[in-house]
Structure 1
Amino acid sequence: MKKLLPLTFLLSISFALFARAEKIIGLVVDKSTREPVELVVITDLKTGNTTLTDKKGKFVLNYAQGDSIGVTFVGYKSEIVKAEPGKPILIELEKSSVNLKDITITNNTQTLKTFSALSSLDLNMQPAKSAQDLLRLVPGLFIAQHQGGGKAEQIFLRGFDADHGTDVNVSVDGIPVNMVSHSHGQGYADLHFLIPETVSGYDFGKGPYYSDKGDFTTAGYVAYHTKTVLDQDMIKTEVGQFNTYRTVALINLLSDKAKQKGTSAYIAGERLYSDGGPFALPENFTRYNLFEKFITKIGNSNQLTVVASTLKSDWRSAGEIPDRAVSEGYIANRFGVLDSAQGGHTSRTNLSLKLNTDLGNNWTMENQLWYAHYHFDLVTNFSFDYYFPTTGDEFRQIDTRDLGGYNGKISKTTDVGDAAFTTTIGAGARYDNISPSELDHTENGQFLEHLQYGKAKELNVNSYVDETLRTGKWLFNAGLRVDYFHFNYQNLAAVTDTFATDIFKGVNPDAQKAIISPKLSAEYTFNPKIQLYVKTGKGFHSNDARVAIANQGFEVIPAAYGADLGVNWKPMPNLFINVALWYLYLQEEYTFGQDLIAQPGGPVGPSGRSVREGVDFSARYQLNKWLFANLNVNPAKPRYIDSAKGHDYVALAPTLTSTAGLDFRFANGINGGISYRYLHDRAANSDYTLTARGYFITDLAVNYTQKRYELGVAIENLFNRQWDESQFEYTSQLKGEKAPVDEVSYTPGVPFFVKLKLAVFFK
């Protein structure tokens, strides 16, 4: 208790300025780590009035009439705490088994975190095993890998084939993951620098409704948060088929005494190797990750967080295979290879400094500076001998850049009568210096000529204001965001490289554009069992700098306009349902194009206006103390507006996805789950004369978890189904063919795959 006296004293000082009668004020922390817990539901047991804790674990419960409050949060033991208005209280929550009864539907004075209950529940029930699993935690989000394990996944969400991130904003601890003007595709989001065991939570939102989220937030966003403090150290080893090995460790660097004083630090490392599956060409996939996090208090009002990480990865790839390659005998089976030089290398180093400041009088401020150095080198070939019959169509994409930026905001919550206003003013900047940005024609990995070669510089400056009003059962949110972009591209290709030079000959190397994005949303919470919400807003995805400078008549910053009508519902204590009807209009569609020809580098092809509409359905049900069920069903109808009927399909855009599973948690430590993921057949081209084949894959995981160790087995593709992980329409020509063929090329999905793990926990 002596160790808690300084914390209690600081808490009293922090709340003294606004404490008054009929308010219960306090702080909620994790009992083990002493870290604040956000989004804890605080309920006046007499009136039913509720509130939520903020990022610092603080809460203010207005107009409390009882002397006891209920405290609930998914994954923690529920508490009933004695409380006295005006007197600060410290609440220590102890981790416990998941109970769906702990989910309480409430409006939130901080932001429209409609999906916070889903994210908390799913991360507790389905702990991520890889960076891919982290993305799959978002209901309705599907991924595909088609160039070896080291490359960013292709992302599908809300009727979008978002390529590698063109329409999904991804971030980690405030550091953007998406790469603007990337040599492989606009918005390229490689999340592999994130070690899944370091993740404490994630935020996600669908649609363009969030003032603090800018570029690429059309289908939605995903924001991951790493642990601030480790409750215990861990070493884990995983061994699987296809010579798969993974080792990860998380180690505290400071003592418990330092943690009590508000200072903590830990380090995490990961090493992965795999042959990559049953491919004739072993992928020799390696990945090394190192992550460090340091947190300390500066005075009574400031907290400094320092994050550093580095990634290095190498791999080889069999690439995409045309449908006819097996049937006509060019390769022995679907795991064969037509070009053995394919593969890549990537690295990324991140550094972030964040300062959170309590300014007093309900004002808080956040300031973050971040920097990253990045390199990408990929050799690939999907048309083979179509464009260059003599030397082949193999090509290399190179992207080396330094990027950095600033994120800042200042917030205040003000009570006026029975209403609460939360005002947030934010600003940010990002600068990318890309040198080189390169697309080369190669043969057996050796340089032949530049197809595009230059330097790109891109600046994005933004600001926003966001106002949330909570009054009674209503919550209203209005925001306005302004973004300014400046693009610069310098062509460095020699005059003799006519393919690269002709595109940029005589063009202005600079372009600029600004966009204003208004947002307006509302919630009505009938009671702790049902809540209706409507969201409307404008967002955007930016264009590649090379395309903008080449002045090919494409939109520089195409806008997206969306609307959601949804409900959060608990028809019974053990069942939570979220349903949303949604609509999205996009001013300019970006789709995967053929890198060699369609544009000056990177799969960013303009295809005109598009519209999408669909339904998101998610349900979570607790059958008993140890058995949980989850279900997501996401139908969508994506169409081009300016194309004739029958020719208006958006290639590769998903029209129906679904995931579901049963998870079990026994008191004796046995836990795990069985789940499926289903992707329906969809159009592979605009007139649906080619089909991208769907799949139904089942996975199984079983663990035995004790205080000091965990044993587990995970099986992917339990029933050994033949399936295609990624598919594209390509025009290709193979050796000996007299004419090119336009058809679907695919990367085969992994067959039955078993992986064992052993984790050891210690203080």
Structure 2
Amino acid sequence: MKFFQLSLFLVVSSLSAFAHISIQGRIISDEDQQALYGATIQVKGTQTGTTTDQFGYFDLSIDAEKAELIVQYIGYETQIIEVQRPNEELIIKLQPTSLMLSEISVQSSNIKSINQLAKIDVELRPVNSSQEILRYVPGLFIAQHAGGGKAEQIFLRGFDIDHGTDISISVDGKPVNMVSHAHGQGYADMHFVIPEIIESVDFGKGTYYADQGNFNTAGYVDFRTKNKLDKSMVKVEGGQFNTVRSVAAIDLLGEKGNSNNQSAYIAGEFMLTDGPFESPQNFYRYNLFGKYNQLLNANRMLTLQASTFRSEWDHSGQIPIRAVEQGLIGRFGAIDDTEGGITGRTDISATLDEKIGEKTYLENNIYFTQYDFELYSNFTFFLEDPINGDQIKQKEERSLLGYQSKLHHEGRLMGYSFNTSAGIGFRHDKSNGNELTRTVNRRTNLERLAFGDITESNAFAYINESWQINRLLINAGVRLDYFKFNYIDNLQTNFVRQSEQKSIISPKLNFNYQVNSNWNLYLKSGTGFHSNDTRVMVAQNGDDILPRAYGADFGSQFKPFDNLIVDVTAWYLFLEQEFVYVGDAAVVEPSGRTERKGIDLSARYQILPWLYADADFNYTEPRSIDEAEGENYIPLAPIYSGVGGLTFKHNSGINGTFRARYLGDRPANEDFSETAVGYIVADANINYSTSKFEIGIMVDNIFNVDWREAQFDTESRLPFESDPVSEVHFTPGTPFFLRAKFSLFF
């Protein structure tokens, strides 16, 4: 008994020896009194720090009688605040200012330090199209090969991701990737997003994040829309190729909303273009979006939002090189100009953020999506059917219901701070009439190759723990995913429901070491996965249907000078056996093990107070492991790529960018006997901005180079050919494309 009392006395004495203060506060914008989510608070001279939550709140414990806090948020003036045993909550108001890289620290309280680069890019480089927002991710390339209405082809970390097989994409917590899609697994169409309302971009490369599940192998991207408009605006754009685009975003509550702790706005976009092709695209798209926020009390916020999107287009598809070289068609011509499609998406969602303790908050999100898709393509022309041609129709109608709950908690244990995040949720997809049909001229159905109903459910749970031990941050997490797959083949005479289920556990372990305030090192490791199409699951009887990906990153972010931030990473990724459902042919195609290794380098430099430079360079060596040397290349996987540019924002109101992107030559097939030719393309824009209006000019491909945006090694046959030919087919990249814009703010 005496031993127990003595032990208790020693423990209490040792704990009381640490004089510490607890600081609670809230960080808001002095301009509109809105909470600043993700602002950083660092204790000067230490590695202790935190970030604000959804409400702008933070909680920090310090083993000292007093301290100086460095408060930072990109686009706002840094503040240094001295605190000494505060008796009440701090309210810190930050002043908007021009971006100064010298005031940005590379100290990080989490493993996503590279997100600093995205915050800088969003602040400096507003984008002008929904597909361009993906380019905020350093090293990510996109290609459009179907007239502007189809989801972009994505390239990242040595992957030809197709339309989303190996990158998880979400907007405000809603998934963009469509599982078991009629056109391809993970299909991610971003065209329902209005770029002008994007507030922030959260991204990560690799398999290291417990809150990210399906498709998170090469990485993930999560876009967040604005909770509140700074100003209402109307924008009109017009340019070559009969292009017209208009955008409106209207604040509905104004100052009255601010006084009642609520905000609401609506936004809309409408676009028309024929594109540069000889056969007009007849493209149109409209988007409508609405969002409402209500601070129910000091600790609870409700967000409601709804959106709808519709698009229709014609396109010229990929054309064979021989047809251009023989003069049969021009670079912007077509073999089958009846290709095209129509698609739409409607979303509704509700989010409740609640602070349930001094250091704990809970986020609940529920969403529902209604989606339809119909696409007509012809990749091989007259290879299979010399009379009618090889046009195919891919079609589906889908409903998607999901829910997720996330808990965040900060605390201290044995003198060290820790951060816990945990989550549970589910996603349920119902795809009716998932169809692949041979057609003629979009009108005549010749033969159904696949036709069925797909139901796919994914339940998940994860926990993520971070400990800050002096200069070292240790992050460990584990994720559990459970899948249930059902397929009803409507081409069969008898009703049969094919069903499979599978679970997978994905552990993560990451380290971040803060050498000093201008230099940190990180080591990331973990496993991830991507599910295969439901039709693959049932065809394989549940075997080898959730292939794992194993990854590791070792890198550093540092500031060699006040105005320069550099991030460099060496990485490795291994994928197990996969089975891929080829939606264009309704067949299951197995592929072997693969590995990718590479180096990513990114830099952001402020040359003058109003002039900024950025550069991203990526090298990757992607290979198939089970194939012989020289026959183990991964088709279309990037090897060398780079992006760079200059951005200027002068006090006179003149601003703009000049940017160039480079994608090197890469193999078009497994033995590199065919080459997907690389390119360098430069774009530019210049604007004059005031508080009331903005005028500007935008030019894509300013030097009017001939380049191939998308390329595939395809076997095809033209109408007059007796034998098929296998060669590169391509979609020409946009030529010199001039547009002007005018925006009015009120």
> Which residue of the partner structure matches residue 560 of structure 2?
571
Deviations 1:483-522, CA, capped at 9 Å, x for gaps:
0111111111266xxxxxxxxx998611111100000001
> Which residue of the partner structure matches residue 13 of structure 2?
none
Q: Name the CA distance, whole Å, in 1 between partners of 2:130 and 2:61.
A: 41
> Which residue of the partner structure matches residue 344 of structure 2?
347
Q: Name the CA distance, whole Å, in 2 between partners of 1:760 and 1:202.
A: 26
Question: Is the contact between residue 699 and residue 738 of structure 2 (CA under 8 Å) also seen in structure 1?
Answer: yes
Question: Is the contact between residue 484 and residue 513 of structure 1 (CA under 8 Å) also seen in structure 2?
Answer: yes
Question: Is the contact between residue 281 and residue 336 of structure 1 (CA under 8 Å) also seen in structure 2?
Answer: yes
> Which residue of the partner structure matches residue 16 of structure 2?
none
1:547 counterpart = 2:536: yes
Q: CA deviation at 1:607?
A: 1.5
> Which residue of the partner structure matches residue 257 of structure 1?
256
Q: Secondary structure at the match of 1:124?
A: helix
Q: CA deviation at 1:526?
A: 1.3
Q: Name the CA distance, whole Å, in 1 between partners of 2:164 and 2:459.
A: 20
Deviations 1:187-215, CA, capped at 9 Å, x for gaps:
00001111001110010000010001000
Q: Name the CA distance, whole Å, in 1 between partners of 2:491 and 2:314.
A: 28
1:677 counterpart = 2:635: no
Q: Name the CA distance, whole Å, in 2 between partners of 1:620 and 1:693.
A: 29
Q: Name the CA distance, whole Å, in 2 between partners of 1:652 and 1:433.
A: 32
Letter in 2 for 1:607: S
Q: Secondary structure at the match of 1:258?
A: helix
Question: Is the contact between residue 576 and residue 619 of structure 1 (CA under 8 Å) also seen in structure 2?
Answer: yes
1:556 counterpart = 2:545: yes
Question: Is the contact between residue 436 and residue 586 of structure 2 (CA under 8 Å) also seen in structure 1?
Answer: no
Q: CA deviation at 1:687?
A: 0.7
> Which residue of the partner structure matches residue 727 of structure 2?
743
> Which residue of the partner structure matches residue 107 of structure 1?
108
Question: Is the contact between residue 41 and residue 104 of structure 1 (CA under 8 Å) also seen in structure 2?
Answer: no
Q: Name the CA distance, whole Å, in 2 between partners of 1:177 and 1:508.
A: 27
Structure 1, unmatched stretches of 5+, are: 1-19, 496-504, 600-604
Q: Name the CA distance, whole Å, in 1 between partners of 2:590 and 2:126.
A: 38
Counterpart pick for 2:454 among 448, 456, 462: 456
Q: Secondary structure at the match of 2:608?
A: coil
Q: Name the CA distance, whole Å, in 1 between partners of 2:120 and 2:372.
A: 36
Counterpart pick for 1:372 among 369, 374, 380: 369
Q: 1:591 to 1:161 in 2, by over 3 A?
A: farther
Deviations 1:112-153, CA, capped at 9 Å, x for gaps:
222221111011111111112100111000000001111100
Question: Is the contact between residue 105 and residue 527 of structure 1 (CA under 8 Å) also seen in structure 2?
Answer: no
> Which residue of the partner structure matches residue 647 of structure 1?
631
Deviations 1:543-597, CA, capped at 9 Å, x for gaps:
0011222238973111100000010101111000001110000113577957126
Q: Name the CA distance, whole Å, in 1 between partners of 2:362 and 2:27.
A: 20
1:81 counterpart = 2:75: no
Counterpart pick for 1:706 among 664, 676, 690: 690
Letter in 2 for 1:179: M
Q: Name the CA distance, whole Å, in 2 between partners of 1:386 and 1:554.
A: 34
Superposition map of 1:177-216 within 5 A:
177-216=176-215
1:385 counterpart = 2:369: no
Letter in 2 for 1:383: T
Q: Name the CA distance, whole Å, in 2 between partners of 1:47 and 1:317.
A: 58
Question: Is the contact between residue 462 and residue 483 of structure 1 (CA under 8 Å) also seen in structure 2?
Answer: yes
Q: CA deviation at 1:371?
A: 0.5
Q: Secondary structure at the match of 1:509?
A: strand
1:667 counterpart = 2:651: yes
> Which residue of the partner structure matches residue 226 of structure 2?
227
Letter in 2 for 1:743: E
> Which residue of the partner structure matches residue 586 of structure 1?
575
Superposition map of 1:181-580 within 5 A:
181-277=180-276, 279-331=277-329, 333-446=330-443, 447-493=445-491, 509-551=498-540, 555-580=544-569
Question: Is the contact between residue 294 and residue 306 of structure 1 (CA under 8 Å) also seen in structure 2?
Answer: yes
Question: Is the contact between residue 377 and residue 398 of structure 1 (CA under 8 Å) also seen in structure 2?
Answer: yes
Q: Name the CA distance, whole Å, in 2 between partners of 1:594 and 1:323.
A: 24
Letter in 2 for 1:158: R
Q: Name the CA distance, whole Å, in 2 between partners of 1:329 and 1:49.
A: 67
Q: Name the CA distance, whole Å, in 1 between partners of 2:464 and 2:59.
A: 21
1:696 counterpart = 2:675: no
Question: Is the contact between residue 75 and residue 99 of structure 2 (CA under 8 Å) also seen in structure 1?
Answer: yes
Q: 1:444 to 1:552 in 2, by over 3 A?
A: farther
Q: Name the CA distance, whole Å, in 1 between partners of 2:198 and 2:32.
A: 15
> Which residue of the partner structure matches residue 169 of structure 1?
168
Superposition map of 1:148-163 within 5 A:
148-163=147-162
The two structures, once aligned, show a CA RMSD in angstroms of 1.8
Q: CA deviation at 1:82?
A: 4.6
> Which residue of the partner structure matches residue 3 of structure 2?
none
Letter in 1 for 2:399: D
TM (norm. structure 1) is 0.92
Letter in 2 for 1:630: D
Question: Is the contact between residue 460 and residue 483 of structure 1 (CA under 8 Å) also seen in structure 2?
Answer: yes
Q: Name the CA distance, whole Å, in 2 between partners of 1:621 and 1:167.
A: 31
Question: Is the contact between residue 140 and residue 632 of structure 1 (CA under 8 Å) also seen in structure 2?
Answer: yes
Q: CA deviation at 1:257?
A: 2.7
Q: CA deviation at 1:451?
A: 0.9
Q: Name the CA distance, whole Å, in 2 between partners of 1:377 and 1:25.
A: 53
Q: 1:755 to 1:139 in 2, by over 3 A?
A: same
Q: 1:104 to 1:423 in 2, by over 3 A?
A: same
> Which residue of the partner structure matches residue 4 of structure 2?
none
Letter in 1 for 2:352: L
Q: CA deviation at 1:470?
A: 1.1
Q: Name the CA distance, whole Å, in 2 between partners of 1:280 and 1:618.
A: 39
Q: Name the CA distance, whole Å, in 1 between partners of 2:412 and 2:700.
A: 52
Q: CA deviation at 1:532?
A: 0.4
Letter in 2 for 1:515: I
Deviations 1:258-295, CA, capped at 9 Å, x for gaps:
22332111100000111122x11100110000001011
TM (norm. structure 2) is 0.94
> Which residue of the partner structure matches residue 744 of structure 2?
760
Q: Which deviates more from structure 2 when the two are superposed, residues 747-756 or residues 546-555? A: 546-555
Question: Is the contact between residue 488 and residue 496 of structure 2 (CA under 8 Å) also seen in structure 1?
Answer: no
Superposition map of 1:710-749 within 5 A:
710-749=694-733
Question: Is the contact between residue 33 and residue 229 of structure 1 (CA under 8 Å) also seen in structure 2?
Answer: no
> Which residue of the partner structure matches residue 138 of structure 1?
137
Q: Name the CA distance, whole Å, in 2 between partners of 1:47 and 1:522.
A: 18
Q: Secondary structure at the match of 2:221?
A: strand
> Which residue of the partner structure matches residue 15 of structure 2?
none
Deviations 1:635-687, CA, capped at 9 Å, x for gaps:
00000010011110000011111000011111111111111000000000111
Letter in 2 for 1:132: Q
Q: Name the CA distance, whole Å, in 2 between partners of 1:509 and 1:172.
A: 32
Question: Is the contact between residue 44 and residue 66 of structure 1 (CA under 8 Å) also seen in structure 2?
Answer: no
Question: Is the contact between residue 519 and residue 538 of structure 1 (CA under 8 Å) also seen in structure 2?
Answer: yes
Letter in 1 for 2:612: F
**Alignment coverage as a number of residue pairs:** 725
Letter in 2 for 1:457: T
> Which residue of the partner structure matches residue 98 of structure 1?
99
Q: CA deviation at 1:626?
A: 1.3
Q: 1:336 to 1:46 in 2, by over 3 A?
A: closer
Letter in 2 for 1:481: R
Letter in 2 for 1:209: Y
Deviations 1:277-335, CA, capped at 9 Å, x for gaps:
2x11100110000001011123443211111110000000000001111122332x111
Q: Name the CA distance, whole Å, in 1 between partners of 2:541 and 2:333.
A: 39
Q: Name the CA distance, whole Å, in 2 between partners of 1:715 and 1:590.
A: 42
